Homo-oligomer: A and B are copies of this chain.
Amino acid sequence: MQYTDLSTPIRTIMTPGPVEVDPRVLRAMSNPIVGQFDPSFTTIMNEVMEMLRSLFQTKNQWAFPVDGTSRSGIEAVLCSVIEPDDTVLVPIFGRFGYLLTEICERYGANVHTIECEWGTIFKQETIKQKIEEIKPKIVAVVHGETSTGCMQPIDQIGKTCRKHDSLLIVDAVASIGGVEIKVDEWMIDAMIGGTQKCISVPSGLAPITYNNRVEAVIQARKKVERGISTEEDQQLELARKHHFIKSNYFDISMLQDYWGPRRLNHHTEATSMLYALREGLRIILEEGLDQRFRRHLYHEQALITGLEAMGLTLFGEAQSKLPTVTCVEVPDGIDPEFVRSTLLDQFGIEIAKSFGPLEGKIWRIGTMGYSCRKENILFVLGALEAVLLQHGASIHAGKATVAALEYYTEQAATSVLSV
């Protein structure tokens, strides 16, 4: 069989990821390969660590990507700290809360959950009370829940965790790079980001950061591979009182020896993906974090303005909304998948469905990273209106794009934001 040249269509990707990628990032991946211990490559590794610290707003020494998709970072952090029968608290407000419980359970944790209705979030006070009550070793919480488009405030939880010597671990896959998160100020002990969402780098790396409290737990479980370990390593291992980490690939004590000054071989770092991450982070810092967060809010507002002008109903509490994902209820009598496939086939626009109890009930429109641009907002509003009208939905015709356009015009006249 003959395979043709790779020829991918141009899509307008308005999902919660993977989203469009700046052409500069795509080009960066075309740089030739250099060896993993080539000084020119270890320089790139160090630069990426430095830039991740800026993005995460942390002074943590450890900030580097795990080589895998977002959930590889989540699993790496959780399995490196969880020992069998450790108590973990997971507040669940959507699908990805369940993912956290699932990973914790697989590694033998004693998982406690609190749940709230999808589309709502917890009062921080509720989470804090539960921490006071069960004094877990770990509190694992999703920050931006893409399945419901909700964002859980977490700035007050860290202090309670410190009081009970609990570790606060945050899944910021869907929010990092689009919404402010202050790792140090909010006393987050470990955090995991995703590349293919607001960072706008292709899927395949999971940037993480963790502080000294987490490092102490990990170091107590340290293991160095036979075949490359020294006698000193082996003696330290024998003296170890804690369970070793179940996974080799996700053993952060080993990743740390690779990313740190010891440069101990573990895996072979994903060269081209690291080029992409470096360029993606460089673009983020060039734009500036504040400006970037404002840009996400700015286009989110344009999208909401258009959707409401069309007469559509947003899903979820307005005050709990994740600025990078907008959930819209499917109007009565409309086949949600038929709308999605028409958008894709006719307009080249992708929007997302949801999961579990929300499947078939809502669409999810992402406004993330490089996809979060004026022309994309205007295009998706016009396209969605046309498709809904064609399918006989009772919406207000001719309103959505005009409303967004007026919003943009007004903002341009009054705002200092350069977007």
Query: Is residue A333 contacting chain B, with contact meaning CB distance below 8 A?
Result: no
A214 to chain B, nearest CB (A): 19
Please state if B6 and A33 are interface contacts (CB–CB under 8 Å). no
Q: A3-B282, A247-B106, A355-B227 are in contact. Are A29 and B32 (CB under 8 A)?
A: no
Query: Is residue A107 contacting chain B, with contact meaning CB distance below 8 A?
Result: yes
In this complex, what residue of B is CB-closest to A26? B30
Q: What B residues does A71 contact at CB under 8 A? A: 248-249, 266-267
Selected contact of A227 from candidates B8, B95, B275, CB within 8 Å: B95
Number of A positions contacting B (CB below 8 A): 88
Q: What B residues does A17 contact at CB under 8 A? A: 268
**A355–B266 CA distance with the chains assembled, in angstroms:** 12
**A246–B147 CA distance with the chains assembled, in angstroms:** 25
A3 to chain B, nearest CB (A): 5
Q: Is the interface of A mostly helix, strand, loop or mixed?
A: loop
**A334–B205 CA distance with the chains assembled, in angstroms:** 40
Query: Is residue A327 contacting chain B, with contact meaning CB distance below 8 A?
Result: no
Of the listed residues A196, A203, A278, the one surrounded by the most CB atoms of chain B closer than 10 A to its CB is A203
In this complex, what residue of B is CB-closest to A226? B98
**A30–B20 CA distance with the chains assembled, in angstroms:** 12
Q: A3-B285, A267-B71 are in contact. Are A225 and B102 (CB under 8 A)?
A: yes
Q: What B residues does A47 contact at CB under 8 A? A: 3
Query: Is residue A153 contacting chain B, with contact meaning CB distance below 8 A?
Result: no
